[in-house]
Structure 1
């Protein structure tokens, strides 16, 4: 039941946030403020519901070192997506025609902040963490990565390849970032930095969704394998390659720090269930 209550609490915050943001659609400054407010409120609600349902401090969202961790995550995300665009541009498939819209980037900042926090709380904070307790780190990484990819099939211009790419590059990378740090701040920052770079800086599609124009007036054309086609650069082979590399780095750190959780044996699960029932 803790999974249900945690999911309901976090989803409820974002459903309300989506309705409020829809009312101010077209106003980038209000979108920025409400997006950041929704993200912050969701973290607070997540911490509260975890404490109530698990009777423990929600250390994965503790404030200590949060700012620096989010900052590092954002830098990694922006740099990683920048490397993807650089490779696409080197092949002549991404062109910048001039400056885009600064106010558009402002609104996208708030929108992407809320989206990054929502998905990290749901997929890494709840699903990955609780699956990992029983199935171990590697199985939880594979299962939540697959679920994360499948969830993007609901997006406009979604494709099976796009969902597979997201599962590998993002589902794996973000889950591994949590495993390495045991906090949600680096995954949140990384997720936000990647999405904001895609939309707010380079003005490309994000997971099959066309966003407002960001800081650059740009155009992408060329083979789908290179550019990602209508799905956007997240469907590019470069995104998959760089995502896999970073996943390996984070999992190496997780192993080195002793953060990998082994799969629980059946006897351990029975014993834990018996203890809880007493």
Structure 2
């Protein structure tokens, strides 16, 4: 039941915020404000519903160190995606035609902040964390990563390879970032940095949702395995390769810190109580 209530609460914020941002599409300032408000509201609702259903301090979204962790994650996300674009550009498959839209990039800050926060709260904060409690880290990473990739099959220009690439690079990288830190702030920042670099900075297609109006007016061309085709650079072999390398780095850190969880033995007591004292 706690899974149901937690998913429902965060999904409701995500849906309402998404509708609000979509309603002001084209207005960069309002998109920024509404997107940031959605991200903040989602974290607050997550903290509230987890506290009510599990009766514990919600340490994974503790306020202490939040800004620094989000900032570090965003820098990592931007750096990794920049590495992807640089490799595509070296092959002559990424071309910049000129400057894009500053207003569009500003709006994308809010849009991507809302998407990063709500998706990380749902997939890493609720699903991965609770699956991990019962089945251990490895099953939690693979199962939630696969589900995360599958959800992208519903996008406009989705492909099976694109969904598989998302499952490997993003599901693994973001899940491992949570496991290494036991905090949602780093994966939220990482998710935001990657998505904003992809859309707001380099103006490429995002997960099969079409090109975004970012700071650069650019296009990709060439082999699908290199550029990702209509799905975008997330379906590039470079994204998969770099995503796997970052994932391994986070998992190594998690092992050093003793954060990897084994599968719970049958009959072992659960750590949380799934009730709502309303």
Q: What is the TM-score when the length of structure 2 is the normalising length?
A: 0.96
1:61 Cα deviation from its structure 2 partner: 0.3
Q: Which position in structure 2 is the counterpart of 1:57?
A: 57
1:68 Cα deviation from its structure 2 partner: 0.4
> Structure 2 matches for 1:210-221, cutoff 5 A?
210-221=210-221
1:264 Cα deviation from its structure 2 partner: 0.9
> Structure 2 matches for 1:39-54, cutoff 5 A?
39-54=39-54
Q: Which position in structure 1 is the counterpart of 2:142?
A: 142
1:124 Cα deviation from its structure 2 partner: 0.1
State how far apart, in whole Å, the 1-side matches of 2:158 and 2:171 are: 16
Q: Which position in structure 1 is the counterpart of 2:69?
A: 69
Runs of 5+ in structure 1 lacking a partner?
A: none
Question: What SS does structure 2 have at the residue aligned with 1:208?
Answer: coil
State how far apart, in whole Å, the 2-side matches of 1:267 and 1:111 are: 44
Deviates more, 1:151-160 or 1:210-219: 210-219
Q: Which position in structure 2 is the counterpart of 1:244?
A: 244
Q: Which position in structure 2 is the counterpart of 1:122?
A: 122
Question: What SS does structure 2 have at the residue aligned with 1:266?
Answer: coil
Equivalent pairs counted in the alignment come to: 274
What are the superposed Cα offsets for residues 202-255 of structure 1, whole Å, 9 maximum, x if unpaired?
000010011431000111000000000000000000000000000000000000
Runs of 5+ in structure 2 lacking a partner?
A: none
What are the superposed Cα offsets for residues 71-93 of structure 1, whole Å, 9 maximum, x if unpaired?
00000000000000000000000
State how far apart, in whole Å, the 1-side matches of 2:200 and 2:212 are: 8
> Structure 2 matches for 1:151-170, cutoff 5 A?
151-170=151-170
Answer whether contact 2:173 2:246 (CA < 8 A) is retained: yes
1:183 Cα deviation from its structure 2 partner: 0.2
Q: Which position in structure 1 is the counterpart of 2:12?
A: 12
1:179 aligns with 2:212: no
1:16 Cα deviation from its structure 2 partner: 1.3
